[in-house]
């Protein structure tokens, strides 16, 4: 077990992040306050899987005041959350630095967010969920990169164990039931014996019922955002049973394959295409579509209502559920479908729906058509504008839209290439 991680920090992070760490260290020294890296960032660093963001906790100064100095030095923007005494800095090269003040939490009622008081690092680590998330790394120069591990998190990491910090942990914050399962599935770790007993007890006593549906929805999003979504769903089913989402939700035989296909397609899209129009929520939305695919329309809609999903998510998922089977069938029937026809079928749905359908189908010809739509055809634009049409004497209305659509479809099918071709086609159409 290593006690100092100076070399690990240097090797794990790129230069820009090491520079930020040095800056935090020197400002903390100057202000005579203690600064630490904490939480999941430390866990992931020790697992040789360093994250791109930083989580900093300070002893003896308000996180907001400190963040202002750091943000100023970096020429970065920052947002403060005074009610939690925390700030988030976003640097120009998109590094996110969360800065907080050591705090103690008082749980007044299970499932409700706790009352917060300032404290030192020992207390701050004690309030956390699991020992593996309660390790800190000192950033002050005299103790730079020393591991601060009061609760045995480091040996638990080495032994692949998830252990709660105290017996009341799942009662204080029942969302930790879902977090425990998520980390166990993600890291392929086991629960320590007592933790497993208390976890099962909290599940049996239905502690999750005291948590608001909004918080459960946030946890569900995190579960569905995980890279190995099937491992998550399987573990969730093993411990809680998927009926906490909906009584008829079951693991289907094709789910495993669909989740892994979705992961592969999304990764391929990010890697291969230089288009950055996929929302950061895409992964969980696609996985959610796959998860609910075997439910009936009204069952799926009751999940969306129950967990208070936003209207934009509701619209995407409801439309997917309504049309996905029909879309797969249409795309699978005719082998020689024109690219514009595929566009006409897929474009009314959201992009996530295309990813879900491509991941659910077994037919290679359907996959090929959807992939061409995703990476190529949906991005094609015509050169002619509405103003050009007006200049040609066409007034806005159904004819106007018809012409623009015909031009776009002709361009997708490569029947026309440039603006000259477009103008010629317009003349034929009017």
Looking at beta carbons only, is 163 or 360 nearer to ligand CTP? Answer: 163
* Count of CB atoms situated within 10 Å of the CB of 52: 12
3-state secondary structure of 245: coil
Backbone angles phi, psi at 104, to 5 degrees: -115, 145
Task: Name the minimum Å distance from CB 55 to ligand CTP.
Answer: 6
Please give the biggest Cα pair distance in the chain: 79
Does residue 39 belong to the site contacting ligand CTP (CB under 6 A)? yes
Looking at beta carbons only, is 40 or 60 nearer to ligand CTP? Answer: 40
Task: Name the minimum Å distance from CB 400 to ligand CTP.
Answer: 49
Task: Name the minimum Å distance from CB 309 to ligand CTP.
Answer: 20
Q: Are 115 and 51 in contact (CB under 8 A)?
A: no
Residue 283 in tokens = 């992964």
- Degrees to nearest 5, angle at CA 273 with 272 and 275: 160
Task: Name the minimum Å distance from CB 291 to ligand CTP.
Answer: 19
Q: Are 333 and 341 in contact (CB under 8 A)?
A: no
Task: Name the minimum Å distance from CB 154 to ligand CTP.
Answer: 14
Burial letters for 271-304: b for 16+ Cβ neighbours within 10 Å, e otherwise? Answer: eeeeeeebeebbbbbbbbbbbbbebeeeebbebb
Instruction: Determine the Cα–Cα distance for residues 140 and 29; give it in Å rounded to an integer.
Output: 6
Q: In the chain, helix, strand, coil percent, each to 5?
A: 55, 10, 30
Looking at beta carbons only, is 163 or 179 nearer to ligand CTP? Answer: 179
In whole angstroms, how far apart are CA 30 and each of 34, 37, 363? 10, 18, 63
Does residue 128 belong to the site contacting ligand CTP (CB under 6 A)? yes
Instruction: Determine the Cα–Cα distance for residues 319 and 321; give it in Å rounded to an integer.
Output: 5
Looking at beta carbons only, is 185 or 317 nearer to ligand CTP? Answer: 185
Task: Name the minimum Å distance from CB 116 to ligand CTP.
Answer: 13
Does residue 129 belong to the site contacting ligand CTP (CB under 6 A)? yes
Does residue 111 belong to the site contacting ligand CTP (CB under 6 A)? no
Using CB under 6 A, count the residues that bind ligand CTP.
10
Looking at beta carbons only, is 128 or 263 nearer to ligand CTP? Answer: 128
Instruction: Determine the Cα–Cα distance for residues 427 and 25; give it in Å rounded to an integer.
Output: 69
From 125-133, 199-207, 331-339, 404-412, give the range in contact with ligand CTP by CB under 6 A: 125-133
Q: Which residues contact 95 (CB under 8 A, 6 or more apart)?
A: 16, 17, 20, 52, 53, 54
Does residue 283 belong to the site contacting ligand CTP (CB under 6 A)? no
Task: Name the minimum Å distance from CB 183 to ligand CTP.
Answer: 8
Looking at beta carbons only, is 153 or 358 nearer to ligand CTP? Answer: 153
N-term to C-term CA, the chain: 78
Q: Which residues in 131-190 contact ligand CTP (CB under 6 A)?
A: 133-134, 173, 175-176, 179
Looking at beta carbons only, is 170 or 288 nearer to ligand CTP? Answer: 170
Does residue 34 belong to the site contacting ligand CTP (CB under 6 A)? no
Does residue 207 belong to the site contacting ligand CTP (CB under 6 A)? no
| Contact with ligand CTP (CB under 6 A) among 12, 40, 228, 270 | 40
List residues binding ligand CTP (CB under 6 A): 39-40, 128-129, 133-134, 173, 175-176, 179
């Amino acid at each position: 077990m290593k006690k100092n991680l100076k070399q690990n920090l240097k090797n794990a992070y790129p230069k820009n992040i090491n520079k930020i760490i040095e800056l935090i260290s020197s400002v903390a020294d100057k202000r005579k306050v203690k600064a630490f890296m904490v939480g999941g960032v430390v866990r992931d660093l020790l697992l040789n899987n360093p994250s791109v963001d930083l989580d900093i906790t300070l002893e003896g100064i308000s996180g907001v005041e400190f963040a202002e100095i750091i943000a100023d030095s970096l020429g970065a923007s920052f947002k403060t959350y005074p009610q939690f005494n925390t700030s988030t800095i976003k640097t120009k090269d998109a590094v996110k630095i969360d800065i907080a003040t050591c705090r103690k939490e008082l749980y007044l009622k299970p499932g409700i967010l706790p009352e917060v008081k300032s404290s030192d690092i020992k207390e701050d680590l004690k309030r956390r969920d699991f020992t593996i998330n309660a390790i800190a790394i000192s950033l002050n120069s005299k103790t730079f990169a020393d591991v601060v591990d009061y609760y045995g998190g480091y040996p638990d990491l080495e032994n692949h164990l998830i252990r709660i910090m105290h017996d009341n942990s799942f009662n204080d914050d029942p969302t930790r039931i879902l977090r425990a399962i998520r980390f166990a599935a993600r890291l392929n770790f086991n629960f320590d014996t007592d933790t497993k007993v208390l976890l099962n007890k909290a599940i049996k006593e239905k502690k999750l019922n005291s948590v608001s549906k909004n918080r459960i929805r946030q946890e569900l999003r995190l579960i569905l955002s995980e890279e190995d979504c099937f491992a998550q769903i399987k573990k969730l089913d093993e411990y809680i049973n998927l009926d906490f989402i909906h009584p008829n939700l079951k693991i289907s035989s094709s789910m495993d394959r669909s989740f892994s296909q979705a992961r592969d397609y999304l990764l391929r899209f990010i890697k291969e295409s230089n288009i950055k129009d996929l929302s950061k929520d895409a992964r969980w939305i696609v996985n959610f579509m796959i998860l609910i695919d075997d439910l009936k329309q009204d069952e799926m809609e009751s999940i969306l209502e129950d967990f208070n999903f936003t209207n934009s998510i509701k619209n995407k998922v409801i439309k997917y559920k309504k049309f996905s089977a029909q879309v797969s069938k249409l795309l699978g029937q005719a082998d020689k479908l024109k690219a514009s026809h595929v566009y006409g079928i897929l474009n009314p749905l959201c992009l996530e729906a295309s990813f879900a359908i491509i991941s659910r189908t077994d037919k290679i010809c359907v996959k090929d058509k959807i992939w061409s739509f995703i990476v190529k055809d949906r991005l094609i634009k015509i050169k002619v504008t509405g103003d050009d049409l007006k200049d040609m004497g066409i007034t806005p209305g159904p004819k106007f839209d018809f012409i623009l659509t015909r031009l776009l479809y002709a361009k997708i099918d490569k029947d026309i290439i440039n603006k000259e071709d477009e103008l010629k086609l317009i003349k034929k159409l009017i």
